[in-house]
């Protein structure tokens, strides 16, 4: 079974400052990793995903994440945030079964961008 930890429940940051949202996972098998964003009263939108290959993954809206297998981490970063980045961010993991594996979500980090 897999699990996801997001240590920071809330992250306030000033506009145009850099931000890092932390994610650690636990799994007995190899995994796929994801970051989703949820705006108020909206569903979840995929920011980026790591399936294989380069450990540095670039996503939409200027976000990127780096997969670190030894530290079982998949931290999300953005060099300069905008007001519009204010949202809930979820890290998620899925096991590498051949057919499917359910996506397990972390508890989320609320990013607040301060003008």
Q: How far is the CB of 6 from another protein (least distance, A)?
A: 8
Q: Give me 112's structure tokens.
A: 């607040």
Say if residues 8 and 107 touch (Cβ distance below 8 Å).
no
Q: How far is the CB of 77 from another protein (least distance, A)?
A: 20
- Closer residue to another protein in complex, CB, 15/22: 22
Residues lying near another protein in the complex (CB under 8 A): 4, 32, 36, 41-46, 49, 51, 90, 94, 99-100, 102-108
Closest CA to 26 of 2, 46, 50: 2
- Closer residue to another protein in complex, CB, 64/101: 101
- Closer residue to another protein in complex, CB, 104/111: 104
Q: How far is the CB of 53 from another protein (least distance, A)?
A: 14
Question: What distance in Å separates the CA atoms of residue 66 and residue 113, rounded to the nearest whole number?
Answer: 22
């Amino acid at each position: 079974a897999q699990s996801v930890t997001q240590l920071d429940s809330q992250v306030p940051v000033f506009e145009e400052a850099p931000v890092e949202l932390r994610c650690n996972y636990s799994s007995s098998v190899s995994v796929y990793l994801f970051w989703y964003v949820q705006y108020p009263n909206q569903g979840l939108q995929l920011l980026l995903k790591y399936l294989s290959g380069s450990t540095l993954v670039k996503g939409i809206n200027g976000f990127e994440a780096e997969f670190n297998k030894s530290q079982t981490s998949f931290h999300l970063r953005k060099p300069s945030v905008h007001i519009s980045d204010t949202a809930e961010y979820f890290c998620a993991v899925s096991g590498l079964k051949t057919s499917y594996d359910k996506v397990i979500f972390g508890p989320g980090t609320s990013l607040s961008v301060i003008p």
